[in-house]
Amino acid sequence: MDNIPISWQLVTLAVLLLLSGFFSIAETSLMSVNRYRLRHLMNEGHRGAKLASELLSQTDKLLGVILLCNNFANASAATLVTLITVELFGEGEWILMFGTLSVTFAILVFSEISPKVIAAAHPEKLALFSSYILYPLLRVLYPVVWFVNLFVSAILRLLRIKVSFKDQSHALTTEELRSIVSDAGQYIPSQNRTILLNLLDLEDIIVDDAMTAHTQVEFIDLDEPIDQIMEQLVRSHHSRLPVRQGDHEDIVGILHVRKVLPLLRDFHIGKAPTKALLQAAMSLPYYIPSGTPLYTQLQQFQKRHERIALIVDEYGEFKGLLTLEDILEEVVGEFTTQSPEHASHFHQLEDGSWLVDGSSLLRDLNRKLKLSLPTDGPRTLNGLILEHFEDIPEPNTSFKIDQYKLEILDAQDRVVKRVKIYP
């Protein structure tokens, strides 16, 4: 290369290092690009995303063309540095060693580490840009890449390693998706992020966690006088009420208050309706087993066009009531329209402590009061306290569960009625 000026050789060396850097950028950016973001851009018609996606669908050939060109550039740069060193300083072991160390350092800094760090920091932009060059380059060099991959495939077969890039599955597990939503930060508004996380939690929540316990359910008793029943319907804050008759555990139907509005008007003008008219307005009760996943029940509500279900245990005993609104509240949070009875379950006192009903669900306490009471056992605060004492405690008893101090204010009829929780 005596007839080629040193300046040209140095320019050629710089070009080779830049080419090697480009292929390093292409490799790192395409391997680390977000596949879901890439699919979104592809669906929007972005040409670079389509090319990148097609290249990634044949990753073996993509890596083949990248590494072929990258190694060619690095080998050429190493050879050129050796020639330049000999031409400038002559031959000698120390001179050749110096030239080897110099080109190794240059390749590491300018062609490997720096480009790959940049590509890892901005994978999407650089992957889309690189695909415009790599796609036609792969077509041109396809015969060479195919020939090299013959040996690669033979080695993989010898090692009994099966590789397929055609039907790659990038499905996320629920936990992975939950982590992505939690870490979305400024990309998803806080309220929307909470709703998405609550929606993912429906898979792990059962109907017992969201139901209204049987002791808190308001019933219509057909054995009572018709005037008393009508007064109850006028005062009720619920649109649907279970109806029982005879044995108080025997629920005979569900009464939709809207269906009896004409009867209420008659009652106001002094015309007493009959119980037969009330029974005609009832629908059959819809029973579901305890332990049903909440998401499954949401699908069942949709399939059966129901809005209210009665939960029974393995012995057929009535445990509680679940409505469609209860499930929606698990996702979007509480609605502002609540009955006074429901709204009074939590009351904060002047000293910062909370006055809580013993029938309150532990999940509600944890969510609304920012607590972390254990939920892997009993569902209600009363159940947690009874489990803690293994007996029915007396009023004015103070104790601790985990880091929380609790005081029993009222206990009667074998249940804890009111509890004070200290901050």
Tokens matching residue 138:
């792969």
Question: Number of helices and strands (H, E) in the chain?
Answer: 19, 13
Please answer whether residues 111 and 21 qualify as being in contact, where contact means their C-beta atoms are separated by less than 8 angstroms. Answer: yes
CATH tag, 207-335: 3.10.580.10
Closest CA to 325 of 237, 210, 206: 210
pLDDT of 66 strictly over 80: yes
Neighbour count for residue 313 (Cβ, 10 Å): 13
Which pLDDT does position 312 carry in this prediction?
A: 92
Calculate what percentage of the chain has a pLDDT beyond 70: 92
Rounded to whole angstroms, the Cα distance separating 361 from 251 reads 24
Q: Strand, helix or coil at 190?
A: helix
Kindly list the domain boundaries of the chain, sorted by start residue.
Answer: 6-158, 207-335, 344-421
Show Cβ contacts of residue 184 under 8 Å, excluding neighbours closer than 6 positions.
193
Residue-wise pLDDT for 365-408, tens only, equals: 887 888 888 888 888 888 888 888 888 888 888 888 888 899 99
Residue 311, pLDDT > 90, answer yes
Query: Is the fold of 207-335 the same as that of 344-421?
Result: no
Structure tokens, 365: 């306490």
pLDDT at 362: 85
pTM above 0.85, yes or no: no
Q: According to the model, what pLDDT value does residue 175 have?
A: 77
User: In the prediction, which pLDDT does 292 show?
Assistant: 92
Residue 358's closest CA among 412, 403, 398? 412
Over the stretch 142-168, which tens digit does the pLDDT of each residue have?
Answer: 888 888 888 888 888 888 877 766 545
DSSP state, 112?
Answer: I
So what's the pLDDT on residue 336? 52
In this predicted structure, the answer to whether residue 300 has a pLDDT above a threshold of 90 is yes
Helix (H), strand (E), coil (C) string for 273-332: CCHHHHHHCEECCCEEECCCEHHHHHHHHHHHCCCEEEEECCCCCEEEEEEHHHHHHHHH
At 307, which amino acid appears? R
* pLDDT of 268 higher than 80: no
Residue 315, amino acid: Y
Q: What is the pLDDT of residue 297?
A: 93
pLDDT of residue 117: 92
The per-residue pLDDT of the chain, averaged, comes to 83
Which of 151-155, 218-222, 344-348, 349-353 shows the lowest mean pLDDT across its residues? 344-348
Phi/psi at 223 (5° precision): -80, -15
Give the number of C-alpha atoms closer than 13 A to the C-alpha of residue 416, restricted to the C-beta side: 32
Strand 308-312 versus strand 287-289 pairing type: parallel
- Distance between CA atoms of 231 and 89, rounded to whole angstroms? 109
Contact between 104 and 82 under an 8 Å Cβ cutoff? The reply is no
Pick the CATH number of 344-421 from 2.60.120.580, 3.40.50.300, 3.30.465.10, 2.60.40.290: 3.30.465.10
> Are 321 and 211 spatial neighbours (Cβ–Cβ below 8 Å)?
yes
Give residue-wise pLDDT tens across range 231-250: 888 888 888 899 988 765 67
